[in-house]
């Protein structure tokens, strides 16, 4: 049976839209809360997706579960198992490959259009996109690109927005898993609304709110394209 391992790091960053899409394609999942559960042997999974979280990798002494998770990711990458890291998950993938994760000089919050570079435009993950991806950001950390990794997307704020390592490992600094309930929870219960107001200004939040419906519609359309491309790369659809 087709089965994907989903690695979650906190209750407020579940699989969201990714879970819905996998169910639509009749792909089974095992969801593991990395901070609470023992990691399974990864070798019988068709792919692995590591999700986001509020933790910081440079505070590893506070999160002893990061060591085993990075070891799992490293082993999976070495045997060319498809791996997708999202936000914190991308930082974990980068760190597992020797990249340094560090505090960014600023935060990225809300919707962004992330331009693809020439490598990104021809990468199978991004086929069907119009030269950029509409994404949601909520992060204050970044990472150095691992040796031999291929940079796929950048913007003027964060150089390393997306990368590929080998043929089937991807790290995306941005979020592609949000559905409407997750976005509502992040905005009104987890502090995203407050962060946008505090760090970008009240006017920026008003603009975000006014454009929310249109932006989110494009975001989900782009998200579906990228996720289904990853499933094709993983030979799951």
Total number of domains constituting the chain: 1
Distance between CA atoms of 74 and 68, rounded to whole angstroms? Answer: 10
Residue 208 lies in a domain: no
Tens-digit pLDDT profile for residues 36-65: 999 999 999 999 999 999 999 999 899 999
Long-range CB contact pairs, 159-165, < 8 A, 24+: 160/94, 161/114, 162/90, 162/114, 162/120, 163/90, 163/94, 164/119, 164/123, 164/125, 165/77, 165/93, 165/97
Tens-digit pLDDT profile for residues 226-235: 999 999 999 9
Tens-digit pLDDT profile for residues 62-98: 999 999 999 999 999 999 999 999 999 999 999 999 9
Report the length, in residues, of the chain: 237
> Residue 1: what pLDDT?
66
CATH code of the domain containing 57: 3.40.50.880
Tokens representing 47 are 């792919």
Active site residues: 87, 175, 177
Residue 201 lies in a domain: no
Residue 156 lies in a domain: yes
Distance between CA atoms of 54 and 87, rounded to whole angstroms? Answer: 10
Span 103-129, average pLDDT: 97
Range of the domain at 173: 3-103+114-128+141-178+226-233
Position 123 pLDDT exceeds 90: yes
Residue 189 lies in a domain: no
Residue 43 lies in a domain: yes
Residue 34 lies in a domain: yes
Residue 167 lies in a domain: yes
Tokens representing 159 are 């150089």
pTM for the predicted model, two decimal places: 0.96
């Amino acid at each position: 049976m087709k089965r994907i391992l989903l690695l979650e790091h906190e209750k407020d960053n579940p699989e969201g839209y990714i879970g819905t899409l996998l169910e639509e394609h009749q792909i089974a999942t095992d969801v593991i809360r990395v901070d609470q559960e023992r990691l399974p042997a990864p070798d019988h999974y068709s792919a692995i997706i590591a999700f986001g979280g509020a933790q910081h990798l440079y505070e590893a002494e506070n999160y002893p579960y990061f060591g085993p998770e990075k070891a799992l990711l490293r082993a999976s990458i070495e045997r060319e198992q498809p791996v997708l890291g999202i936000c914190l998950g991308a930082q974990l993938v980068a760190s597992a490959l020797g990249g340094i994760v560090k505090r960014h000089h600023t935060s990225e919050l809300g919707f962004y259009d992330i331009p693809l570079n020439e490598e990104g435009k021809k990468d199978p993950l991004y086929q069907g996109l119009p030269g950029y991806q509409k994404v949601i950001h909520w992060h204050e950390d970044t990472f150095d690109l691992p040796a031999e990794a291929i940079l796929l997307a950048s913007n003027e704020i964060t150089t390393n927005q997306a990368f590929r390592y080998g043929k089937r490992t991807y790290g995306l600094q941005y979020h592609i898993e949000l559905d409407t309930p997750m976005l509502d929870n992040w905005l009104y219960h987890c502090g995203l609304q407050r962060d946008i107001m505090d760090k970008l200004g009240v006017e920026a939040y008003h603009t975000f709110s006014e454009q929310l419906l249109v932006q989110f519609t494009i975001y989900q359309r782009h998200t579906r394209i990228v996720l289904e491309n990853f499933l094709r790369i993983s030979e799951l659809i």
